[in-house]
Amino acid sequence: MSGIRDTLMNRILVVDDDGLIIDEYLRCLGEDYEPDSATSTLSELEKVLFGDDTDESGAARFAVDTRNQGEQAVQAVEEALKVGQKYSIVFLDIRMPPGINGIEAAKRIRKLDPDVNIVIVTASVGPEIDKLDIEIPPADKVFFFKKPFHAAECRQLAAALCGKWHADMALRRANEELEQRVAERTAALHKLAYYDPVTRLPNHLLLLDALQAMIEKAEDSDGDSVVVLLDIERFSFINETMGYDAGTELLKSIGNRLSRALIEERKGARAVVGRFGADEFAVLMAGVESEAAIHELAGQVRELVEEPFLIEGRDIFLKASIGVAWHPVHGRDSELIFRCAEAALHRSMRSLESDITYYHSEMRHRARHKFDMEAEFRGAIENGQIKAFYQPQQSILTGELAGVEALARWVRADGTVVLPQDFIPLSEEMGVSDLLFETILADVCSEVAGWRDDGGWEVPVSVNLSAHQLRNADLASLVTKVLAKRSVDRELINLELTETALLEDLTIARPILTDLSKLGVGIHIDDFGTGYSSLSYLAELPVKTLKIDRSFVAKLADSESNTRVVQAIIALGKAMQLDIVAEGVETDQQYALVRRLGCDLAQGYFIARPMSADSFRRWVDGHEDTQSLKHTSTVVGIDTARS
């Protein structure tokens, strides 16, 4: 087929039992043929059709073989195919006694060579001629030629059919080349679509297919099909410190080690190792016969990853979080089982121990609840259901309202209130924590502006910042924009952040807090005393207030060590001219103790619970009325405040 080309390409086989007829074929197809003036245009046709395969006169060059029986013709075609010298045309006499006739010979030849043009030659038209295209398909490669024939007719037919054969072969070669390119491109696209370009391992699409194939086969056999997903902790840190080339080398090393241990060394085990995500790998294992074997497999995966890797001459030690799920316990399709394994992996990633987590059904309910919460939470922000609740801070010395903390609450349409611990982490995972902060700050500023317009307001309100907000370089601009839009005095707004959030990255936090302080807003540190870090940062930051963590306040009456910690915090704050707030004050005994120790303000249920803006305003009006009377004792003052 393709690649078949010799110097004399127009090969013709003539089959006839009459020697005179064969001589006539040889004459009219030979190189010495001289057309008369009436057929001189034939040479021009042959030049167009054959180009280089013509002689000096322009006549086509034909190589003619002859046979006088059908059986011999079939053998000739078979031999020509073996040596790669195919015939372009076979002229077959329809009757050649005593052997097989031309129709039968044509059928056998067609089975051997589907490309050759077959010409049935006969002196009379019989009924068999009418069905040539059916008996010797295809129709465009079988022809009828009547004898006696004129030499020019024969040569013209030979020239046309040889030209057609060459065109067919060229088209065949082009199609084969195209098919080859398509096959190569398809293979490349398949590799691109189903294999990770870095590790050359199956990617998540091929892993899904591989697991599904395991599941379908496992339906009729023993053993479970197990998915072990692992995430490399702090992989981005390796990229940042050693460079992306080192990270790439590490990924390849992880894939190679897992493949060697779980595929090559476990002979007979049906295992697949793939790269599931950026720093996530998957191990699929079929035919795992017990839960103990599942645990053994997961343990082996962890050990393989946590053995040191030699990268650029250095030993790299990794920690891996691992999630495990398996068929049929956790589902009967690959997508569901992978979702279960991912849920287990995420649970493992949140664990401080980074241990192996085996999926259980409770995770699915939690994941579904979280998914529903996310959708509802987006709507809550858009529909104004996120509100600020207000908890007052009382001056311990005078009993007056000295400050307020704004706490985010999600108030559903039915009036139920969702606490911040249920949606603040959700907002950070969804990437909308900045929007949430802006929503609360705007709500607070609107309320403060309204209270000011109703008769004056001089008490600062604190709004909480998270660690995420401290990574926002445009935080000062955002605060400025919100304050300007509501025309709120900057000294009436404090921004409050926990010590833990502050110490996550003090280098980033310091300039942002400095910019905020320059705006005129106050900076408060909440939950002080839980950071377990050097206190030298306090001297470097524009802090106005420290809030003693509620855990210390709760144990004041029971623990002398807690009392000494609180005394130390108060002494530190006083030395740095900071205000000290005791939060979480819930009893009169705690109130008396923080007063005796020298705290400036108290906040907690003993004074008031967080309340909506309207309820808070009514509380403030009632509280101001009580302050017209002089407080004579701590208990009397607080009882009046709570009435």
> Is 493 domain-assigned?
yes
Q: State how far the alpha carbon of 279 is from the alpha carbons of 105, 209, 256, 293, 318, in Å.
A: 68, 21, 15, 26, 12
- Could you list the residue range(s) of the whole structural domain that residue 217 is in? 204-359
d(CA 42, CA 32): 14
The number of domains in the chain is: 3
Residue 597 CB contacts under 8 Å (≥ 6 apart), including other chains: 563, 566, 567, 570
One domain for residues 479 and 377: yes
d(CA 584, CA 403): 15
pLDDT at 368 over 80: no
> Is 551 domain-assigned?
yes
Dmax over CA atoms of the chain, in Å, equals 145
| 424: exposed, middle or buried (Cβ count in 10 Å: 0-12, 13-18, 19+) | middle
> Is 196 domain-assigned?
no
pLDDT at 235: 87
pLDDT at 561: 84
- The predicted-structure confidence for 479-517, as pLDDT tens digits, reads as follows 999 999 988 999 999 999 988 777 767 778 889 999 999
Domain boundary among 359, 379, 402: 359
- The predicted-structure confidence for 519-564, as pLDDT tens digits, reads as follows 999 999 998 877 655 567 788 889 999 999 898 999 888 888 888 9
First to last CA, the chain: 103
- The predicted-structure confidence for 275-307, as pLDDT tens digits, reads as follows 998 899 999 999 888 889 999 999 999 999 999
Average pLDDT over every residue of 121-143: 81
pLDDT at 612: 95
pLDDT at 533: 55
What's the chain's average pLDDT? 85
Look at residues 291, 306, 301 and name the one whose alpha carbon lies nearest to residue 229.
Answer: 301
Contact 408, 440 (CB under 8 A): yes
Domain boundary among 334, 359, 384: 359
- Reported as half-sphere exposure (CB side, CA atoms, 13 A), residue 6 has a value of 14
The CATH number given to whatever domain includes residue 209 is 3.30.70.270
The residue that leads in pLDDT, 628 or 565, is 565
pLDDT at 3 over 70: no
pLDDT at 642: 29
One domain for residues 590 and 472: yes
**Window from 70-84, 387-401, 627-641 with minimum mean pLDDT:** 627-641
pLDDT at 237: 82
Average pLDDT over every residue of 173-181: 91
One domain for residues 468 and 568: yes
pLDDT at 638: 31
> Is 327 domain-assigned?
yes
pLDDT at 562: 83
pLDDT at 641: 30
pLDDT at 6 over 60: no
> Is 619 domain-assigned?
yes
